[in-house]
Structure 1
């Protein structure tokens, strides 16, 4: 502890960084940022912008960059994204407006580099938002991502045309709305872990994602399912599996 206090005193360590080393999180006016999550859990902490003001989101993003080198913001609208960019003028900003994600990284930040690939397939274009959130998490975990768009079960030929890519991936995330059938079909065709990501697309009874998640939970093929629109969770879970695959390959090398 004395070393940390002396580092703060001589300016080589900020108070926020010192707090993280002592408690594992940084305290701000907008809340506490779990800066140790990636070290503790292997998954980068995300700042959920939904329900937060742009200023609150930016405050937490600054704390994230200061203490972990990078901020990953999810469910961010234009105002959130602009506030983060304004608060971090020297950061490298990567925004996906469709997925509503913003990544702000310090210029010297180095992402992990895993020897693993995750394929992300969508049933339709409307599923791209949740799928993009999963992809953002995976990229920040250092995973190679293969996107396969609009291959829903209304025409099975679209899935079969991409079967080689699906089978070559180490993990597959499948985002689908409506009845959520695509993950079941894919899981019956590949020998790798499949994570179903139900999406709240569709209309009428069950169109809010309820039919999709129930269909995945009742799948007769082997797959896992996350909650509706939970792109971050699907990406993080796939990333943890991919990291185990990468570690195994390193051990065999």
Structure 2
């Protein structure tokens, strides 16, 4: 049957250590093509480029680039997947993996995540897709402890398939490998951010703002991604991009519209 074709992308940029680790893992599974942003795009969500041109440059970043195609894209994570599927790839990939993100994309963070939006864009196109994130925001984060788990998840996804309309959101706690208890299939925890802005004044006398805030967990369930991460498990949340609240349709049909 030949090796599977794997599209690798992210939102931290093509030189990010998390992506380089993901590339090295995927090379053990199949043929790899990388299309990733040329600069960090964290928090971009599902933004796409409409009012400016996009560029894609073929390049080699490091020794992991040997034998694979890599493109640096000027756009967002969603742009990277769109461009890969429409222009850069000769055939449809068997799977798209996004990450490994520097920082958590659990719970409500999935809404803002460029990592997950890239995976979702692939899912919209009918391609099995997984977003991987490590709960460590440091650029020097150690991604190696989770590589065997990532290999297993991707291999199982290729073997068993991912249901249409579903994308997997995988989050990995910041732990040494021997302290990881395993993998939990979870639901997304209910949580939000208690946000505020740090207001400052520039040397030119203009007001400017830094977004800050605290994460507020509103969910006590033991079947959530946040519980899994807090208890030393890798969380896997099946996420769908049909945003319809199907259970409310009947109620809304009672309105006098």
TM-score (norm 1): 0.34
- State the TM-score, normalized to the length of structure 2: 0.34
The structure where strand makes up a greater share of residues is 2
More contact order relative to length (CA 8 Å, sep ≥ 6): 2
Higher fraction of helix: 1
